[in-house]
């Protein structure tokens, strides 16, 4: 059990390194439990917690992304995460107890980032959020609620400030 834990930590450390070739990084992550589609790229420094991550085809994780993947994290097809982005899936109740954060009281909610999004650098996405397809999230934003598709969201909390055009045909009624 202890051996498995340290073997996993060692593999996570190896794949984080700048010196680890991308193909080896991907192989390590798949061995650890990730699902990685075709033409994906995981840049150095990306850190998972329990390897509960799915990258759809063409997904791209920038350097030093932190994936707090206690519940599943799915990055949609052709979606790109900028450097130092953080996706959180775990939170804790803040009820009338002191200390506020009691060990073992965890609420785990999956995060899904839809197809064709661009998540800027230093974005934080909170547990349970679903980013609609085709969204752009500006650098440094904190996404506290799910977003509708094809919007530009910026700020803390992130708000929709622009509808984004798409070259895809509109669905027929
Ligand atoms: C969002 C972004 C793409 C700009 O889009 P844009 O359509 O050109 O938007 P504008 O520059 O016209 O800004 C529109 C408004 O949003 C604000 N805004 C833009 N980006 C913002 C951000 N990240 N956080 C908060 N507000 C932002 C602007 O100040 C402006 O506000 P105003 O109308 O009150 O003046 C860009 O600002 C950004 O954040 N890019 C991410 C860069 C990055 O992370 N790169 C990493 C490489 S993957």
For residue 3, how far is its CA from the centre of ligand 1 (angstroms)?
Answer: 46
* pLDDT the model gives residue 173: 67
Within a 10 A sphere around the Cβ of 76, how many other Cβ atoms? 21
* pLDDT the model gives residue 5: 85
Within a 10 A sphere around the Cβ of 127, how many other Cβ atoms? 19
Q: pLDDT of the chain along its 173 residues, tens only? A: 788 889 989 999 999 999 999 999 999 999 999 999 999 999 999 988 888 999 999 999 999 999 999 999 999 999 999 999 999 999 998 887 788 887 778 999 999 999 999 999 999 999 999 999 999 999 999 999 999 999 999 999 999 999 999 988 777 76
Do the beta carbons of residue 118 and residue 147 sit within 8 Å? no
For residue 166, how far is its CA from the centre of ligand 1 (angstroms)?
Answer: 19
**Phi and psi torsions of 100, nearest 5°:** -70, -40
Whose Cα sits closest to atom 1 in ligand 1? 138
Do the beta carbons of residue 53 and residue 73 sit within 8 Å? yes
With a 6 Å cutoff on the Cβ, whether 62 touches ligand 1 is yes
């Amino acid at each position: 059990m202890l051996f498995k834990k340290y073997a996993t930590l060692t593999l996570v450390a190896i794949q984080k390194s700048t010196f680890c070739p991308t193909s080896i990084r991907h192989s390590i992550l798949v061995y650890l439990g990730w699902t990685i589609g075709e033409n994906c790229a995981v840049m150095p420094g990306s850190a998972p917690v329990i390897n509960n991550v799915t990258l759809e085809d063409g997904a791209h994780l920038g350097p030093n992304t932190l994936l707090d993947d206690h519940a599943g994290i799915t990055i949609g097809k052709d979606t790109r995460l900028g450097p130092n982005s953080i996706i959180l899936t775990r939170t804790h109740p803040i009820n009338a107890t002191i200390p506020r954060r009691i060990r073992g009281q965890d609420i785990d909610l999956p995060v899904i980032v839809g197809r064709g999004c661009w998540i800027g650098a230093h974005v934080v996405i909170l547990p349970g959020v679903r980013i609609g397809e085709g969204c752009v999230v500006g650098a440094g934003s904190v996404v506290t609620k799910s977003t509708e598709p094809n919007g530009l969201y910026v700020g803390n909390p992130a708000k929709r400030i622009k509808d984004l055009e798409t070259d895809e045909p509109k669905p027929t009624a």
